[in-house]
């Protein structure tokens, strides 16, 4: 059996996303192979014995070692991979992306890049004055706020923060205070999928999303969020991702690239992504697989 799209997934909250992919494939006449913990062994066996194959991989199994053989098979057989693992790993490095963004002329917070604790356990003197009175400390890799220290004020906090993930580089970044527009902080999360962008107001305290309206784009110049995100896409080379952008004196990319998108939908979780955005993203991802089949 040759499938048009393979979707490995194991996170229980990806169930709605998987259902959306199934529906989109049905509409487009595409065959879908869902691989989850219940059929993982049988699926990998069939894949490596050649009784089942696929032409495009949409991998939500990354981070779970038992799913790795699927990604490896796809790589070895030159299968079209949406967000290839090696591209994801490169783009997830905030230190690398910081310098790429600066080179591309994108605004970022003032940043001091720090070696990992293992590479440089004792740091030389660093002038923290340019960061301001309060700053953010974050590991170079990872997401979901893990390892992030907000409101840091001194070198001692940097030294201790680096020990949480001692193998990772760290960034110390100036705090960004956004403008307030119609009573809302001008802090946004923008989703990108296969050339399309979807902008949301994003509350940093509650993580609640609200779709940016067309009228708001025109009135407040928020259409620039699309342009900035397209520039990020040209740098990171991912098929789908999200980015955080704040509007202070100008637009500043605050959290660079996140390709481990939380696909929980708002109808199921208060801090989920608006359903229509996930649905549109799914349609774009299935479109990639369809175009790959036709090619």
Q: What is the pLDDT of residues 1-27, one digit of tens each?
A: 999 999 999 999 999 999 999 999 999
Q: What is the mean pLDDT of the chain?
A: 95
Find the mean pLDDT for residues 207-236: 96
Q: How far apart are CA 217 and CA 239, in angstroms?
A: 24
CA-to-CA distance for 211 and 17, rounded, in angstroms? 19
Mode of pairing for the β-strands spanning 251-258 and 187-193: unpaired
Strands 2-3 and 53-54: parallel
244 near 101, Cβ under 8 Å? no
**Topology of the domain covering 2-83+283-294:** Rossmann fold (3.40.50)
| pLDDT score for 277 | 98
Specify the pLDDT at position 145.
Answer: 74
Of 5-19, 89-103, 138-152, 172-186, give the lowest mean pLDDT range: 138-152
Burial class, 235, CB count within 10 angstroms (exposed 0-12 / middle 13-18 / buried 19+): middle
* Tens-place pLDDT, residues 153-186: 999 999 999 999 999 999 999 999 999 999 999 9
Backbone angles phi, psi at 277, to 5 degrees: -70, -45
Output the pLDDT for position 146: 82
The pLDDT score that the predictor gives to residue 295 is 81
For residue 214, name the pLDDT band (cuts at 50, 70, 90): very high
Q: From residue 60, how far is each of 68, 150, 203 by CA, in Å?
A: 11, 29, 26
Q: What per-residue confidence (pLDDT) applies to 127?
A: 94
What's the confidence (pLDDT) of residue 294? Answer: 87
In the chain, % of residues over pLDDT 70: 99
Q: Is the pLDDT of residue 143 over 90?
A: no
Residues 6 or more apart whose CB falls under 8 angstroms from that of 277 comprise: 191, 198, 200, 211
HEC profile for the chain?
CEECEEEEECCHHHHHHHHHHHHHHHHCCCCEEEECCCCHHHHHHHHHHCCCEECEEECECCCCHHHHHHHHHHHHCCCEEECCHHHHHHHCCHHHHHHHHHHCCCCCCCEEEECCCCCCCCCCCCCCHHHCCCEEEEECCCCCCCCCEEEECCHHHHHHHCCCCCCCCEEEEECCCCCEECCEECEEEEEEECCEEEEEEECCCCCCEEECCHHHHHHHCCCHHHHHHHHHHHHHCCCEEEEEEEECCCEEEEEEEECCCCCCECCCCCCCECHHHHHHHHHHHHHHHHHHHHC
Q: What is the pLDDT of residues 184-212, one digit of tens each?
A: 999 999 999 999 999 999 999 999 999 99
Residues 47-51, mean pLDDT to the nearest whole number:
96
The per-residue pLDDT for 147 is 86
Task: Inform me whether the pLDDT recorded for 112 exceeds 90.
Answer: yes
Give pTM, 2 decimals. Answer: 0.94
Superfamily of chain region 110-174: ATP-grasp fold, A domain (3.30.1490.20)
- What number is the average pLDDT over the span 141-164? 89
């Amino acid at each position: 059996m040759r499938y048009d799209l393979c979707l490995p997934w194991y996170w229980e909250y990806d169930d709605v996303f998987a259902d959306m992919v199934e529906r989109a494939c049905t509409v487009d006449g595409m065959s879908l192979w869902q691989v989850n913990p219940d059929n993982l062994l049988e699926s990998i066996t069939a894949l490596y014995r050649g009784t089942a194959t696929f032409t495009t991989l949409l991998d939500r199994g990354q981070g779970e070692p038992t799913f790795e053989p699927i990604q490896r098979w796809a790589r070895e057989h030159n299968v079209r991979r949406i967000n290839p693992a090696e591209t994801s790993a490169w783009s997830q490095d905030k230190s690398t992306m910081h310098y790429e963004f600066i080179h591309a002329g994108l605004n970022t917070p003032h940043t001091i890049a720090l070696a990992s604790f293992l590479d440089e356990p004792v740091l030389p003197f660093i002038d923290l004055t340019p960061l301001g009175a309060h700053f953010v400390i974050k590991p170079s890799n990872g997401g979901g706020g893990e390892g992030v220290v907000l409101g840091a004020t001194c070198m001692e906090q940097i030294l201790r923060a680096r020990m949480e993930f001692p193998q990772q580089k760290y960034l110390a970044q100036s705090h960004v205070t956004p403008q307030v527009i119609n009573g809302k902080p001008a802090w946004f999360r923008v989703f990108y999928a296969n050339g399309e962008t979807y902008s949301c107001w994003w509350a940093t305290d509650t993580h609640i999303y609200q779709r940016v309206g067309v009228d708001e784009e025109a009135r407040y110049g928020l259409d620039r969020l699309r342009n900035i995100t397209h520039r990020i896409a040209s740098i990171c080379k991912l098929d789908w991702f999200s980015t955080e952008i704040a509007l202070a004196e100008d637009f500043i990319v605050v959290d660079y690239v996140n390709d481990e998108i939380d696909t929980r939908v708002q109808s199921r979780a208060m801090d989920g992504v608006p359903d229509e955005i996930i649905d549109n993203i799914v349609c774009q991802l299935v479109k990639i697989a369809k175009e790959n089949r036709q090619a």
